[in-house]
Structure 1
């Protein structure tokens, strides 16, 4: 007789974790953060509550990991697009924001990708839910900023500092404040939903912002 192959527990665990993360995103999209529960996530994922508590201490922790996983998968597409603008050398990691030597083109590429993410129905609903809850839940908001926003904003700081070194941005400009000129308008329009969020709008933001950051004659 052929030996019986033992079940792969790690593969089963991966399937369960994926089911839980997907269930959490589905529920927060359908009913909002406050009405999403551990019980609801477990039922949607087809697992027991104890399975969820084995890996996460709370609903917020599950949803945060689910959102970070979703954002990471989305970022893979952005990274592929960035690489097409400037291939990294052997052994180098593709940067979050390309550095082709053309600051305006690089920023437009990334802001257009951000527009696409914010307009993506798969990302939009959970992003809005966690953004709104983070306003009233200081701990969740701080975790959202620390785990998701700060690493992304650091990429802008790195690119703007590189532009300062090449003379494309004034030396006295604070990159951390300057990046808010780029991100702030996008988020404002997205949150209020007053006007369409488009690539053309992203391009205009870059043109206006870089015009103010460039060295003066």
Structure 2
């Protein structure tokens, strides 16, 4: 007599989570954060509303988890791709941040990639939603910073410290403050939508910032 294999509850759970993540990201992109609801996410994912509430306490929590999952998948995809020309690591910086010995060129590579991410429709919609919600929800805001922003900012700090050790950046510079000279202008322009966020603008930001970081005669 043939035996019937019991369904894999863990695999079914993973499929449901991925479906909920994809549904949340799609709805926020299509109709914005305010119009996205738990009911809408459940319907789009093909699951019951109670399934979502069993795993997440709120719509914001669903979106945060979905965005972290998306960021992880994006990083994995990038890790499997070849390094950009000239971006091979020389061993002085953390993985994911180029160290060619040319600080300005390395920063331009990373800031250009940041511009592309901020201009990506899916990433932009979710990042704006989480940024706005994090202002009024302190717990969500702290989680967004801790899980997503801080690990990225740590890469800048490591690269700038390597530049200090190589004599390319003044010894008294605080890398944590210096990186804000690079990221702050991009986020300001992106948040306010005052002017286009472009590669050319990112390059100028690097040129202005590095000019103030390098040793003076």
Under a length normalisation based on structure 1, what TM-score does the superposition of the two structures give? 0.89
Aligned residue runs from structure 1 range 16-95, under 5 A: 16-79=16-79, 80=81, 82=83, 85-86=87-88, 95=95
- 2:123 equivalent in structure 1: 123
Partners of 1:82 and 1:97 within 8 A in 2 = no
Q: CA deviation at 1:126?
A: 1.1
Distance in 2 of aligned mates of 1:11 and 1:177: 44
When the two chains are superposed, the root-mean-square deviation of aligned CA atoms in Å is 2.2
Unaligned runs of 5+ in 1: none
Distance in 2 of aligned mates of 1:77 and 1:113: 14
Q: CA deviation at 1:94?
A: 7.1
Find out whether 1:134 has 2:134 as its counterpart.
yes
Q: CA deviation at 1:59?
A: 2.2
Q: Helix, strand or coil: the match of 2:196?
A: coil
- 2:102 equivalent in structure 1: 102
Partners of 1:168 and 1:214 within 8 A in 2 = yes
> Hey, which bits of structure 1, 4+ residues long, moved more than 6 A?
none
Rate the CA distance shift 1:116–1:29 in 2: closer, same or farther, 3 A: same
Distance in 2 of aligned mates of 1:153 and 1:216: 26
In the TM superposition, what whole-angstrom CA distance separates every residue of 1:21-78 from its partner, at most 9, and x where no partner exists? 0111122233433443322221211111222233223322211111111222333455
Rate the CA distance shift 1:103–1:36 in 2: closer, same or farther, 3 A: same
**Matched positions, count:** 214
Under a length normalisation based on structure 2, what TM-score does the superposition of the two structures give? 0.89
Q: Helix, strand or coil: the match of 1:132?
A: helix
Distance in 2 of aligned mates of 1:94 and 1:171: 20
Q: Helix, strand or coil: the match of 2:4?
A: coil
Q: CA deviation at 1:83?
A: 6.3
Distance in 2 of aligned mates of 1:55 and 1:204: 44
